[in-house]
Structure 1
């Protein structure tokens, strides 16, 4: 990943993570899952990352969405447990969990895209 790609990647991932934190915190006390609201944010992040690396999203989308689903489930279980026990702290934990999952997910996808670009250059 060159310097320009890294800078653009940081912006995309941190923007998506901040948005995810706002969604997670805002929906912490609601009796519905925040996954439906987070999936479009994370999908937009993947599309933006694909553009940075000139990557066709169709190639990695299925794998990326499966990874996203698994990560969201683990985060929701943790956040809901805390939210149920301590409502005010639950909002903070839910926001932090949503941001952390999105941040980690974004860097995993960016790394995968960057490695694929490098592999193509070597071939």
Structure 2
């Protein structure tokens, strides 16, 4: 009899706010929201997803703790682990060729859960 393993990551969505034109006056357009998902089962782990944008040529993610990631249209999402709990401002810049769009979101990274709570979350036992 096959064994089916169910893994619940219990991700929490954190919406981001769009920021209008960039201060450089580079004919920017505003960005749609993006989502950063905080995984409570793994301390400090987040995954960020940009808005769907067929005109996007690339994405730049500034995570607020000094980490910077770039991604393209084929794999636009990123994963990041924060070393410490706290509030971090994530900035997304979407490169659209001759223009760019910017959005920011403040993430509140919680204190690490104890090992037993993390195991229960990963098994889907806590809701």
TM-score under structure 2 length normalisation? 0.32
Q: Which has the higher contact order (CA 8 A, sep 6+)?
A: 1
**TM-score, structure 1 length as denominator?**
0.32
